Amino acid sequence: METVRESWTDERLDEFGKRIDERFDRVDERFDEVDRRFEQVDKRFEQVDKRFEQVDKRFEQVDVRLERIDGRIDSVGRAIVFGSIALSSTMIAGFGAMAAVIATKL
């Protein structure tokens, strides 16, 4: 082991340090590129968020329209119920009148 330690001269250690620095510089450059790519991804997500905001607004409009339609359906349902009651009452009154006419002829 001592021979290995003795062979590391100051000059070799300096060269080793420079090589390590160069490699870390390359790693830093790669991380800078990764950071730039994440910035692009962030911008794209911002665009997607804006699009979802537009979609949310449209769904709100659809909700309002559906509430209007629901109200109309409720009013049509009420009209059918009241119409059925009125028709039934009219039919009962008509049958009663027919029964009265038949009873007077007998």
Q: pLDDT tens digits for 46-64?
A: 999 999 999 888 988 988 8
Q: Give the three-class secondary structure for 1.
A: coil
User: What are the CA-CA distances from residue 69 to residues 26, 55, 75, 86 (Å)?
Assistant: 64, 21, 10, 25
pLDDT at 8: 81
* Residue 31 DSSP code: H
pLDDT at 3 over 70: no
- What pTM does this model have? 0.44
Q: What is the pLDDT of residue 16?
A: 92
